A = this chain, B = another copy of it.
Amino acid sequence: MQDIRIDLSMAVPFAGKEALAEMGKKAELAFQDLTDPEKEAGFKGWLNPMERGEAYRAMMEKAAAIRSKADAFVLVGVGGSNQAARAVIKALQKDGPEIIYAGNTLSAPALQKVLRRLDAKKEIYINVIAKNFETLEPGSHFRVLRDYLIRRYKREDTAGRIVLTGTFGSRLEEIAKENGYTFLEFPVPVGGRYSVLTPVGLFPMAVAGIDIPALLDGALRMKERLAAPGNPAVEYAALRQCLYQEKGFDIEVLAAFEPQLDYFAKWWVQLFGESEGKQKQGVFPTSVSYSEDLHSLGQYMQEGRRSLTETFLSIEEPDGSVPVPKDPAFGDRFDYLDGMDFLEINRAAESATIRAHYEGGVPCFRIFLPTLDAYSFGQLFYFFMVACAISGKTAGINPFDQEGVEAYKRSMFDMLGK
């Protein structure tokens, strides 16, 4: 079980030395503030990953039961309620039920597609995740899916197929009790985008066969690291704020040379976008999937507006191997690849890209994952959540609210006659 490694050496040269030292002090204070149990206790439950007690054991048992029986498991949730689990499942799932995502769109064609996929499955289970059970997508899809399950299995056989994840005391908990559904806790002092280490993220991952103890161990290992001197989350947060506030680097691009990380990037974009995009400020978070996007945004990254920073996630020992077969008589002019493995070729593309972007004026943050596994993901999640909270606080905003998402809802609820 190895630590992930955070390397800021290709970003530091872009910051002013004194400005960075100054920002480092602010970020250190923000971290002390964050870890002070007296302050903002109502928003910081996520600093402590789920404990492995009674509720954990019950959750894992239910997950194992579903895993052994289900052909399809529908994760009904949106934003903070599905991004983390989806990120890990898309990257690591090897077998078990097909995980289908619903409650994350209002498109009729997209919902029809989900229902058609379910038609082809025999044993279906669903998990509805909603902290505030007023969100339209999961609420409306729960209606449709409940109706669907009752038509497929009869009412009395549906209760065992439904798991609800919500806050204690919520309407969702009452619904679970009234109908005999399993209920899991979405802790009140944990915002959606910080909920990966609670049943919100862990339960669907467990159904998909992810190694939950390893993921939690990874998070706890990072927690321990961040408590020691030389905290890399403080350094990363200070540097990105320094580059933003002092030098105008106002877009951060999460980049990886492994498409298995595409959905992790979506989690990351929400984490930073929703935490920092307020008061008309904030670094704009976005992502690229290399090498494909070198043929799309590569030109912009190299020579466009010099306001970009890039955060590379590199996997030191990726899974899999495909050697390039030789074909000497064919004459395709790719003989220089003879006998090489795609693992090497991809690594060469990655090194060359980082060097070219750095030399082209892009500060590059690098995070190395020893391997792509649950333990690395646990570290990564915890690292970025703490770094994001510190970064937001250093910028003088509240990284735990999201008032702006209410604006469109008012006129939408109006139109829908709520």
Task: Point out residues on A near B: beta carbons under 8 Å.
Answer: 78-80, 83, 104-112, 115, 133-137, 139-140, 142-144, 146-147, 171, 174-175, 178, 192, 250-251, 257-260, 266, 269-270, 273-274, 276-282, 284-286, 291-292, 294-308, 318-322, 324-325, 327, 330-334, 336-337, 340-343, 345-346, 348-349, 351-353, 355-357, 359-361, 402-405, 407-412, 414-418
Residue from B142, B345, B357, B415 in contact with A140 in the complex, judged by beta carbons closer than 8 Å: B345
Shortest distance from the beta carbon of A361 to any chain B beta carbon, whole Å? 8
Interface contact B112-A320, CB-CB below 8 Å:
yes
Distance of A337 from chain B, by nearest CB (Å): 6
Question: Secondary structure of the A side of the interface?
Answer: helix
Closest B residue to A286 by beta carbon equals B286
CB distance from A98 to the nearest CB of B (A): 15
Distance to closest chain B CB from A114 (angstroms): 10
User: How many copies of this chain does the complex contain?
Assistant: 2
Write out the residue numbers on chain B whose beta carbons fall within 8 Å of the beta carbon of A257. 106-107
A333 touching B134, Cβ below 8 Å: yes
Bound Cα distance from A355 to B258, whole angstroms: 38
Which residues in B have their C-beta under 8 angstroms from that of A192? 295
Contact A277 B294 (CB under 8 A): no
Residue of B nearest to A250 (CB): B305
Please give the distance in Å from A178's CB to the nearest CB on chain B: 8
CB distance from A371 to the nearest CB of B (A): 12
Partner of A144, one of B297, B319, B324: B324
In Å, the complex CA distance between A402 and B351 comes to 21
Residues of chain B with a CB closer than 8 A to A270's CB: 295-297
| A307-B411 Cα distance, complex, nearest whole Å | 24
